Chains A and B, each alone.
Chain A
């Protein structure tokens, strides 16, 4: 397997570079990670090729790779990616904006917080896949319907996090701003918003996960467009390798977004503290 070659090269590189003990430890970790990955792929491929017996052909790493190339070549994958991401952006961007604004206002106004946050939370607690048939009935099967699903998922998550962020702002910041005669709107945007940013980014991170699930499920329903539809149609024809490709793309999107936003979260976390 060329995978093993890559691993051994990585290991030799790691040993060659590893003069500093800490760097060497990190490289060893990385080598173990890569080795686990390829070991997993090899086990999977081996199990399906040599052990598993069934009328259904299971996807293997190799067949998924072939299916990936094939779907790229006939353009289905690119088309589906564009369709799904259009929905995510169309619903997600207004969702984040309105969620942050609404959360700032509600979080800074005690009576509004008491009056509305419990209901937003109740909505948030609803297992959202149950709502998707209703959204499709209300807003149709197109970009609007799916965009509304994404919008609703994002706006509730971001709003709740923003409210929590605004409420957790260090009271000393507020006192300092107030004693300099800051007006309430200025305080909201120049003190409470920056201090709540790490919470807001966490909200965006959580809502990306929910939105991806929402889009895929809605696309199962319509089976017309997007990555979810590809998964649904190819699974129905038992061409599981082709069905697996969009699922991997979605997973990579979710993981990538989560890693990037977590970094950002850590950076903004510093703004919450004094000194």
Chain B
């Protein structure tokens, strides 16, 4: 019988007490510790950088009730969300249609795809003042800014998705003499869904950036207007609360689309 040391469960002597091990390896305690560390650095170090405009976390938390009771706060959230949703829905519609068109028509693909990629890579908010000068301080201008930012990731991903459809599926469809419209609706569109969802997630993130730009740099409105208003009063705490609102909206959006993504992926895995 060999008595060679075997890697097994740690013995009582070497192991840390189980409560300590649990404490360190639990991801929620770790995250709480991380948050605590960030808040400490913010409270004690960052506030020294510029004492006039500093906003230590304690002050920010204290200003939350003040903002919640501001009669402009909830209407501002509503108008920000409305602007985003309007722009995003239009961007999604355009993105899907154009993406499918690029995948369907080879000439369009050759002629336009490099320009689509170029527009995706260029800092589009640079033309916001020009757009505003041409179109005026209207809602349409803001919606256009959101659409411009959100549309390209959706378009590019739909295009890629439609191009990477499984060749066997196309062959099967063809051998059953499926008509062209049915082929697109029943085969190509469903199998490019995972790509579409990725595009939607990226597009939503950029659309939120567009929303913030539109609300800060055209006619101030919504949460962007609240940030500027508190900024004029040098009310740093309140500004941060409004920015955090933006963060929460974005994360909620990203999580929702992430949920959709998982569902779509599960569905494609089982179907193939």
Residue in contact with A254 in the complex, picked from B114, B123, B127, B254, CB distance below 8 Å: B123
Interface of B, helix, strand, loop or mixed by DSSP: helix
B38 within 8 A of A: yes
Contact assessment for A127 and B122 in the assembled complex, using a CB-CB cutoff below 8 Å: no
Give CA–CA (A131, B125) in the complex, Å: 15
B205 within 8 A of A: yes
0/1 string, A234-275, CB within 8 A of B gives 1:
011010100110110011101101110000000000000000
Contact assessment for B34 and A129 in the assembled complex, using a CB-CB cutoff below 8 Å: no
Contact assessment for A247 and B53 in the assembled complex, using a CB-CB cutoff below 8 Å: no
Contact assessment for A118 and B31 in the assembled complex, using a CB-CB cutoff below 8 Å: yes
Beyond A115-B31, A137-B53, whether A216 also contacts B125 by CB under 8 A is yes
Give the interface residue-count category, chain A. Answer: 35 or more
Contact assessment for B243 and A129 in the assembled complex, using a CB-CB cutoff below 8 Å: no
Binds B, one of A29-37, A160-168, A191-199: A29-37
Give CA–CA (A120, B49) in the complex, Å: 21
A134 CB contacts on chain B under 8 angstroms: 227, 231, 236, 239-240, 243
Give CA–CA (A36, B109) in the complex, Å: 11
Contact assessment for B209 and A129 in the assembled complex, using a CB-CB cutoff below 8 Å: yes
Give CA–CA (A116, B31) in the complex, Å: 7
Interface residues in chain A, defined as those with a beta carbon under 8 Å from any beta carbon in chain B: 29, 32-33, 35-37, 56, 58-59, 111, 114-116, 118-119, 122-123, 125-134, 137-139, 209, 212-213, 216-217, 220, 227-228, 231-232, 235-236, 238, 240, 243-244, 246-247, 250-252, 254-255, 257-259
Residue in contact with B27 in the complex, picked from A114, A125, A220, A246, CB distance below 8 Å: A114
B111 within 8 A of A: yes
List, sorted by A's number, 16 A–B pairs whose CB atoms are closer than 8 Å. A33-B110, A111-B24, A116-B34, A127-B250, A128-B209, A129-B213, A130-B216, A130-B243, A133-B231, A134-B240, A137-B234, A216-B126, A238-B133, A254-B121, A255-B121, A255-B122
Q: In the complex, given contacts A216-B126, A217-B125, A257-B121, what are 8 additional A-B residue pairs having Cβ atoms less than 8 angstroms apart?
A: A58-B134, A125-B205, A132-B216, A134-B236, A236-B129, A240-B130, A251-B126, A254-B123
Contact assessment for A33 and B125 in the assembled complex, using a CB-CB cutoff below 8 Å: no
0/1 string, B94-138, CB within 8 A of A gives 1:
000000000000010011101100100111111111101110000
Contact assessment for A216 and B123 in the assembled complex, using a CB-CB cutoff below 8 Å: yes
B259 CB contacts on chain A under 8 angstroms: none
Beyond A119-B35, A209-B121, A213-B125, whether A247 also contacts B130 by CB under 8 A is yes
Give CA–CA (A258, B125) in the complex, Å: 17
Beyond A129-B213, A250-B122, A258-B121, whether A56 also contacts B133 by CB under 8 A is yes
0/1 string, B227-261, CB within 8 A of A gives 1:
11001001010011011001100110010000000
Contact assessment for A220 and B217 in the assembled complex, using a CB-CB cutoff below 8 Å: yes
Contact assessment for A251 and B122 in the assembled complex, using a CB-CB cutoff below 8 Å: yes
Give CA–CA (A231, B227) in the complex, Å: 23
Q: How far is the CB of B135 from chain A (nearest CB, A)?
A: 10
Contact assessment for A33 and B114 in the assembled complex, using a CB-CB cutoff below 8 Å: yes
Give CA–CA (A246, B127) in the complex, Å: 9
0/1 string, B204-219, CB within 8 A of A gives 1:
0100110111001100
Contact assessment for A119 and B38 in the assembled complex, using a CB-CB cutoff below 8 Å: yes
Give CA–CA (A29, B35) in the complex, Å: 53
Give CA–CA (A112, B27) in the complex, Å: 10
Residue in contact with A138 in the complex, picked from B53, B242, B254, CB distance below 8 Å: B53
**What 6 pairs between A and B have smallest CB-CB spacing?**
A115-B34, A251-B122, A235-B129, A258-B121, A127-B212, A212-B123
Q: How far is the CB of B256 from chain A (nearest CB, A)?
A: 13
B144 within 8 A of A: no
Residue in contact with B250 in the complex, picked from A29, A125, A209, A236, CB distance below 8 Å: A125
Q: How far is the CB of B202 from chain A (nearest CB, A)?
A: 11
A114 CB contacts on chain B under 8 angstroms: 27, 30-31, 34
B37 within 8 A of A: yes
0/1 string, B125-163, CB within 8 A of A gives 1:
111111011100000000000000000000000000000
Beyond A111-B24, A111-B30, A250-B126, whether A29 also contacts B132 by CB under 8 A is no
Contact assessment for A129 and B130 in the assembled complex, using a CB-CB cutoff below 8 Å: no
Residue in contact with B111 in the complex, picked from A32, A56, A118, A128, CB distance below 8 Å: A32
